[in-house]
Amino acid sequence: MEPIYIRIFKDIEAKILSGDWRPGDRIPREHDLVNDYGCSRMTVSKALTALVERGLVVRKRKTGSFVAAPQINRTVMDIQDIGTAATLAGYEHRHEILTRKIETLGPVEAAQLNSIAGVEILRIHCLHIVDGKPTAVERRIILLDTVPLARTESFVGAPPAKWLLSQVPWSKAKHVIRAVSADAATARILKIDRGDPCLNLIRQTWQNDRMVTYVEITHPGDRFQFAGIFHPTESALRQ
């Protein structure tokens, strides 16, 4: 039989990742969890500490524990969404939704994404403009069985990445950064020449084993940079 603190951890984790509990929602108070599970306060505290370390819960002194907002900086490299990065740097940012349509995922794309052909997706093309200059073209797929709220979302008020981060808890993310040359369509949107060097970010996120979104974001090579701060791991410090 698994320890009680593991059961508490799994029960709370399931409610968060399923979306039943949203970012900012209060977790049941410790004494309520003690009564519900018939365990000690130390056992409950151990479960909550593990949830904090997992990045799912934040504990606030005198007010309790709350569902944490999803944190991109849990990945290897901290990459902010374009709007936030631009604002922090003192620039103006706006976005335009170029296309938005509901489709079914084809077999070739499904194989590439390790998904199932025939599922409904929302396909979005979005242009990011910083200080009046086209700075990124975003090509995104959102899985509607994982994120049903996206079906009716216009993304006019907030770009897709920002909206998803505020709405959908995720458990795993993968990203790849590579150098590419602009194809004709990308060059036209970004107002650069075909073949010009670009930076391309590919990111996938999952909620447990269900994919949330896949996105490719392409920047002109001279208008954007990715930056990250790294710290040595504990094992590296011992070497």
What tens digit of pLDDT does each residue of 197-208 get?
A: 999 999 998 887
At 57, list the tokens.
């819960």
Please determine whether the domains at 4-67 and 72-220 fall in the same fold group of CATH: no
Across 19-23, 44-48, 178-182, least confident range: 19-23
- At 77 the three-state DSSP class reads coil
- pLDDT recorded at residue 230: 53
Fold of 72-220: Chorismate lyase (3.40.1410)
Residue 186 has pLDDT above 80, yes or no: yes
Which residue, among 73, 72, 68, 76, has the nearest Cα to 17 in the 3D structure?
Answer: 68
Q: Check if the beta carbon of residue 170 is closer than 8 Å to that of residue 206.
A: yes
Which residue, among 33, 197, 204, has the nearest Cα to 113 in the 3D structure?
Answer: 204
Q: What is the mean pLDDT of residues 61-69?
A: 85
Q: For the chain, give every domain's residue range.
A: 4-67, 72-220
Cβ burial, residue 184 (10 Å; 0-12/13-18/19+): exposed
Average pLDDT, the chain: 85
Please enumerate in sequence order all residues whose Cβ is within 8 A of that of 49, keeping only pairs 6 or more positions apart, or say none: none
- pLDDT recorded at residue 68: 84
pLDDT band, very low/low/confident/very high, at 75 (cuts 50, 70, 90) = very low
Most confident of 1-5, 34-38, 51-55: 34-38
**DSSP H/E element including 187:** helix 184-190
pLDDT band, very low/low/confident/very high, at 129 (cuts 50, 70, 90) = very high
- At 48 the three-state DSSP class reads helix
Residue 73 has pLDDT above 70, yes or no: no
CATH number of 4-67: 1.10.10.10
